[in-house]
Amino acid sequence: MPLSRRRRARIIRGVQYGVLVVAVVVLALVADWHQLRTAFFDVEVAKALFPDIITTALLNTILYTLLGFGFGLALGLVLALMRLSSVPPYRWIAITYIEFFRGIPALLVFIALGFGVPLAFEVALDMNVTVMLSLGLVGAAYMAETIRAGIQAVPKGQTEAARSLGMSQGRAMVSIIIPQAFRIVLPPLTNELILLTKDSSLVYLLGLALNQFELANFGRDALNEHKSLTPILIAGLLYLVITLPLGQLVRRLEARTAKAR
């Protein structure tokens, strides 16, 4: 009378597939295919986006991301070294910075830098500088912790070997420890780059001129113009063009590290 465990499993799996099939069929019947096509895959609208969506939007996304990443990486390295310093105030400053910028929304930083600073200090920052600071200040907090972990993961014997050759603490750090630490943290840093690529869309808050549009902003603008979702779809796909290869790179790097251990 009781079902064998294997039969019961087979029935449960059958039911799950059944539900899926029903859902797909219902969706296919209910959906208004014509409207969906014009909304998402309007060829005329798509054509109108090119080449600007590549030459302006995609390039700006890459530019903003690299600006933020470069600044964030440099500041993150400094913070990581401060965090590991034997001088307590340096450690306190680094910890405070990291906790602060990890704890607040990036949005606030953008608003503060885009509107707060110009109003309060009556200076007009260059757009690229504002983007670099906004993305980099937050990114640095995350990267600092990643880099610190990487530095601490380098075996102590490496420092000892370097010091026993007469290298100073700083020289050992620069020539021996940091290069190895970066190898270790390359995968998480690449992940950080992926996150920054997406966060670069926040620059819309800064109020961009046409030639400063990046993908998200460009897509939104085109959406208003054409009353079609096609630009959003294409902008999304172009983000994937950047992030998917990076994700692939992370997996390759992780595999390499796993093999080297």
Partner 1 sequence: MSDVTTDRGAGGAEDAPAIDVRGLRKAFGELEVLRGIDFSVGRGEVVCVIGPSGSGKSTLLRCVNLLEEPSAGRVTVAGTEVTDPDVDIDRVRRRIGMVFQSFNLFPHLTALENLTIAQRRVLRRGRPEAERIGRANLERVGLGDKATAYPAQLSGGQQQRVAIARALSMDPELMLFDEPTSALDPELVGDVLAVMRGLARDGMTMLVVTHEMSFAREVADRVVFMDGGVIVEQGTPEQVVGAPSHERTRTFLARVLDPAAAEVGEVADDGAAGRRVDR
Which residues lie near partner 1 (CB under 8 A)?
155, 157-158, 160-168, 171, 175-176, 179-180, 183, 260
By C-alpha distance, which of 176, 151, 131, 160 is closest to 79?
151
By C-alpha distance, which of 220, 210, 229, 240 is closest to 46?
229
> Closest distance between partner 1 and the C-beta of residue 78, in Å?
21
Residue 152 or 158 with smaller CB distance to partner 1: 158
Residue 162 or 203 with smaller CB distance to partner 1: 162
Residue 165 or 244 with smaller CB distance to partner 1: 165
Residue 135 or 178 with smaller CB distance to partner 1: 178
Q: CA 16, CA 220: separation in Å to the nearest integer?
A: 38
> Closest distance between partner 1 and the C-beta of residue 75, in Å?
24
User: For residue 240, with 0-12 CB atoms within 10 Å meaning exposed, 13-18 middle and 19 or more buried, which class applies?
Assistant: exposed
Secondary structure (H, E, C), 158-221: HHHHHHHCCCCHHHHHHHHHHHHHHHHHHHHHHHHHHHHHHHHHHHHHHCCCHHHCCHHHHHHH
> Closest distance between partner 1 and the C-beta of residue 176, in Å?
6
> Closest distance between partner 1 and the C-beta of residue 189, in Å?
16
Chain centroid to CA 135: 10
Reduced to 3 states, what is the DSSP secondary structure of residue 3?
coil
> Closest distance between partner 1 and the C-beta of residue 249, in Å?
19
Q: CA 104, CA 107: separation in Å to the nearest integer?
A: 8
Residue 51 or 166 with smaller CB distance to partner 1: 166
> Closest distance between partner 1 and the C-beta of residue 165, in Å?
4
Residue 81 or 162 with smaller CB distance to partner 1: 162
> Closest distance between partner 1 and the C-beta of residue 163, in Å?
7
Sign of CA dihedral 207, 208, 209, 210: negative
Residue 38 or 158 with smaller CB distance to partner 1: 158
